[in-house]
Amino acid sequence: MTHPHGIYQVVGRREYRGHKPGETFVARLDMNAAARAIKRGDIALLEHVNHSLDSGRLVLPKGWLE
C-alpha cells in the first residue's frame, strides 16, 4: 500500500524526527507510527501532499528520445 506524504507540524514540546517544536516538515510516515504520534500530541497532520516534477525544469539526456 502506498503511504501518502503529509505536511506535519510538531505540536508537542519534544523534537520529532529532528524537527523542533513548532516546525513543519514533509514526510511519508508509517501510518501506524503517525497515528500514535498524533494521538500522543507530538505532531499534527496539516495536509496530505503529492509531490511531482515540474516538466518545465526537466531536460532529458541528449538523444534519449531519438
Partner 1 sequence: MRKSLFFVVPAFERFALTAICLRQLRRTCDELERNGVDASAVIVADDDNLDTAHELGFGTYERGNAATSMRFNDGIQAACDPRFNPRPADYVVPCGSDDWVDWRLFVDLPDAGTMVGFQRMAFVREDGVELTVRHLNNEGGCGIRIYPRQIMSALAYRPADEDRKRACDTSILVNLKLAGAIGRVEHRDIDPLQIVDWKSPGVQLNPYATITARHRAELTRDPFDILHGRYPDDALDDMAALYGRVAVAA
Residues that bind partner 1 (CB under 8 A): 1-3, 5, 25-28, 30, 50-53, 55, 57-65
Q: How many CB atoms lie within 10 A of CB 44?
A: 15
Q: How many CB atoms lie within 10 A of CB 29?
A: 21
Q: How many CB atoms lie within 10 A of CB 25?
A: 16
Nearer to partner 1, 39 or 62 (CB): 62
Smallest separation, CB 44 to partner 1 (Å): 16
Smallest separation, CB 13 to partner 1 (Å): 21
Beta bridge partners of 16: 19
Smallest separation, CB 14 to partner 1 (Å): 18
